[in-house]
Amino acid sequence: MAEFYDQLAPLYHLIFQDWDKSITRQATQLTEIIRNEWGLGIDAVLDVSCGIGTQAIGLSQCGFRVTASDLSCEEISRAKREASARNLDIAFSVCDMREAYQHHGGGYDLVISCDNSIPCLLSDDDILAAMREMSACLRPGGGCLITVRDYDREERGKGIVKPHGARDVGDTRNVVFQVWDFDGDYYDLTMYFVEENRTSKTVQTHAMRSRYYAISPSKVVTLMEEAGFAAVKRLDDGFYQPVLIGTTRS
Ligand SMILES: C[S@@+](CC[C@H](N)C(=O)[O-])C[C@H]1O[C@@H](n2cnc3c(N)ncnc32)[C@H](O)[C@@H]1O
């Protein structure tokens, strides 16, 4: 998994039509959810799967005190560069979310794992281990916010194409799409970036592969409860993916 995201790090922003706009939109939506659910008492936020920083950067720009980590060294290097280019003070480090407490310690107001990072863990036991660590990182009454793809609504089969779109950068057109091959509740994903330089008339394709666990949001909710979170619920409005939230007991 780390190798897949290391390869993806320099290209990750091309998944989005406009990464900066997505950073701002997601942070605005997440802030609204955070304030609705936990009020003004959230300041120290820990992102345990920050990637190149999509949510960490946006939440820092919204005034939260953000600490962020990820399994991928290359993504963390890029996240540091992106935050520094925006004059943001975010403490980034490399960490497996299944060891988040050992690495980060406790006392955070909110821990997040967004944009379908949890299904990178390939068993219920691994997901439960990550959630227990996330819970340990929180102060009593702290919040947990997870966003995932709704796999209950996804077609299953082989060769399923998921287009992201065409992104023009100067003379270069990047066409970005994924192809999924299901194997029970798992699927092998290939991410393609086809890069056409229209001046030199050259084409280069980047393809990288990984496996995901197509866990349903309701199962994620069950595992959050098993990890000890209270008042666990799913929110379907206000973000582009289902948002699953829970709170540690006071
Ligand atoms: C779809 S990306 C989302 C990244 C980021 N939240 C964003 O929206 O840009 C999933 C992320 O989960 C990270 N990841 C996968 N397994 C992990 C683990 N065991 N611990 C920490 N991060 C992990 C990957 O490296 C990747 O950055």
**What pLDDT digit, counting tens, does each position of 133-176 carry?**
999 999 999 999 999 999 999 999 999 999 999 999 999 999 99
Query: Is residue 78 within 6 Å of ligand 1 at its C-beta?
Result: no
* Count of residues making up the chain: 250
Distance of CA 116 to the CA centre of its chain: 5
Amino acid, res. 102? Q
Q: What are phi and psi of 239, to 5 degrees?
A: -150, 160
Query: What separation in Å is there between the alpha carbon of 202 and the centre of ligand 1?
Result: 32
100 CB within 6 A, ligand 1: no
Q: How many whole angstroms from 200 Cα to the centroid of ligand 1?
A: 35
- 236's tokens: 């379907």
For the segment 52-98, what is each residue's pLDDT rounded down to a tens digit?
999 999 999 999 999 999 999 999 999 999 999 999 999 999 999 99
Residue 117 C-alpha to ligand 1 middle, in angstroms? 5
How far apart are the CA of 97 and the centre of ligand 1, in A? 9
pLDDT confidence band for 2 (50 / 70 / 90): confident
For residues 44 and 109, the answer to whether their CB atoms sit within 8 Å is: yes
Q: Which H or E element spans position 231?
A: strand 230-235
Burial of 39 from C-beta contacts in 10 A (0-12 / 13-18 / 19+) = exposed
**Ligand 1 site-directed mutation target among 25, 49, 132, most atoms within 8 Å of CB:** 49
Radius of gyration of the chain (CA): 18
Q: Whose CA is nearest to atom 27 of ligand 1?
A: 51
- Closest alpha carbon to 248 in 84, 50, 101: 101
Residue 1 clears pLDDT 80, i.e. is over it? no
- At residue 114, φ and ψ (nearest 5 deg) are -115, 165
**pLDDT (0 to 100) of residue 99:** 98
pLDDT tens per residue across span 122-134 = 999 999 999 999 9
